[in-house]
Amino acid sequence: MNKKQIIGIGIFVVLVLAIIGFKLLSGGGDGENTRGLTTVYVATGGGKEAFLADEDVVKILKKKYKLNVVFDNWSNGKTVQLPLIRESVGLGDASIAEKIANGDTSYNIHSNGVSTYDALFTSDQRFYDYYKLFPNKENGEADRYSVQGGSLTLNTPIVIYSWKKVVDALIKEGIVTENEGVYYISDMNKLMDYILEGKNWSDIGLPELYGKVNIASTDPVTSSPGATYYGLLLAILSEGQVTDENVQKNLPKLKQFYIKSGYMNNTPADLFDLYLKTGMGGKQMIVDYEKSIIDFANSNPEGFAQVKDEIIVLYPSPTSWNSHCFAYFTDKGKKLFEVFDDKEIQQIAWERYGFRTGITGGSYDVSNIGIGVPQTISSTVSSLKMDNYNKLIEYLKGGN
């Protein structure tokens, strides 16, 4: 081996050792630099996974706020039924997770060795409100952390997606009105009556459409978005006064509406995809969230360009927020909660994923979206409390 070969090997060895040393100093070789960062664990409801995993959001959390945030996926219902520890969803301590998976119910948030959370990020306000109450032990609910604070964080209103020709017919029927390029369902009761009466599309001037007037939604019995929509309908039927008396009075009409609605999808993503793929002939009107069209426009600009001139977003008047609410249990959780006031993060939430922020949904430049979206959402009703939702769902399932 000559001198040049020896020098070359030496340089190679030094480079390898330098790379290994850099990875060790920077937090490991898995590409995840957590050195000098505070790790925050958050039990997280669905519907915002892409936003929370956004590279720029993660970069802001790490570089600007020195936070390494771990968002574990939870269904909303399990957050009050199961101990809110990482082992409940198969994470954290492997031996404890295995015991829980095999039916061991002895573990709770106070048990030794369990991996606890700093915050809860629900995708439905009723679970946020309900988590702050004492657990109902008779229903088998788990012990809860003490909530130090929190609020609504990411919001998107319930909307109905339709098509220009359908909306033109609904305007003639006095159901929809237009104001500054935004379309509102100003008489939701009349539209519900059309569905209950079994009116055909041909009865309102659309003979080319087969079948009866209908609004497709996800199933409220099995789907959180569907439940939010039916909660809105109940609030509208109750004229905004959701009392026990009004709930009982209007549940039969809502049950008939549910029956008339026919087959329902279980996931909003599938329903929105069907709406886009089948067009006016397949899905004349569907219930979804405002954020879906903005997310679609950003993720598939070519597809959006093909349909944007025909799509109409209808805003029920009033509508209801789907609110992703943040509750923190520790100082670390509080630090993360305060990050959502960051203007750059709020702009990413809106421009890329369609989430409005703040109590009133904020005010954004909507002119570049290309379809009618209001600057602010002002006509809304409050989300139903958990007990009223439970009454609604049980009644729809067949109970009285």
**pLDDT at site 28:** 39
Q: What is the CATH number of the domain that holds 282?
A: 3.40.190.10
| pLDDT beyond 50 at 125 | yes
124, 88 Cβ separation under 8 angstroms:
no
The arithmetic mean of pLDDT across residues 226-250, rounded, is 89
Share of the chain above pLDDT 70, in %: 90
**Is residue 227 included in any domain, yes or no?**
yes
Query: Is pLDDT above 80 for 9?
Result: no
Model confidence, pTM = 0.86
Least confident of 55-64, 157-166, 242-251, 322-331: 242-251
Residue 11 has pLDDT above 70, yes or no: no
Are 31 and 160 part of one and the same domain? Answer: no
The answer as to whether 191 is a domain residue is yes
Q: Is residue 341 part of a domain?
A: no
pLDDT at res. 398? 81
pLDDT surpasses 80 at 390: yes
In the chain, beta strands by DSSP E: 38-44, 67-73, 119-121, 149-163, 176-179, 182-185, 286-289, 311-316, 319-328, 356-357, 380-381
DSSP per residue, 215-226: -B-B-TTT-HHH
Contact assessment for residue 316 and residue 236, using Cβ atoms and an 8 Å cutoff: yes
The chain-wide mean pLDDT, for the chain, equals 89
Q: In this structure, are 393 and 244 located in the same domain?
A: yes
Statement: residue 68 has pLDDT above 70: yes
**Rounded-to-integer distance, Cα 210 and Cα 223, Å:** 27
Average pLDDT of the segment spanning 95-109: 97
Overall number of domains in the chain: 2
Q: What is the pLDDT of residue 30?
A: 36
Structural domain includes residue 131: no
The answer to whether position 378 is within a domain reads yes
Of 374 and 171, which is predicted with more confidence? 171
pLDDT, position 42: 98
pLDDT band for position 213 (cuts 50, 70, 90): very high
- For the ranges 186-195, 202-211, 223-232, the lowest mean pLDDT is seen at 223-232
Q: Residue 5 pLDDT more than 70?
A: no
What is each CA distance from 373 to 36, 142, 183, 296, 385, in whole angstroms? 42, 41, 8, 14, 28
Q: What is the model's pLDDT at position 400?
A: 52
Q: What is the pLDDT of residue 22?
A: 43
Rounded Cα–Cα distance for residues 157 and 229 (Å) = 10
Mark whether 240 and 386 lie in a shared domain.
Answer: yes
Which structural domain range is residue 2 located in? 1-35
The answer to the question of residue 332 being in a domain is no
Indicate the pLDDT class of residue 240, thresholds 50, 70 and 90: confident
Interstrand relation of 380-381 and 319-328 (parallel, antiparallel or unpaired) = parallel
State the pLDDT confidence band at 2, using cuts at 50, 70 and 90: low
CA 11, CA 14: separation in Å to the nearest integer? Answer: 5
Average pLDDT over residues 25-42: 68
State the average pLDDT over residues 345-364: 78
Comparing 147-151, 236-240, 263-267, the range with the smallest average pLDDT is 263-267
Find the mean pLDDT for residues 172-184. Answer: 96
Within-domain flag for 137: no
Position 107 in a domain: no
Better-scored residue on pLDDT, 261 or 173: 173
Q: In whole angstroms, what is the distance from residue 257 CA to residue 288 CA?
A: 18
79 and 89 Cβ atoms separated by less than 8 Å = no
Q: Indicate whether 32 pLDDT > 70.
A: no
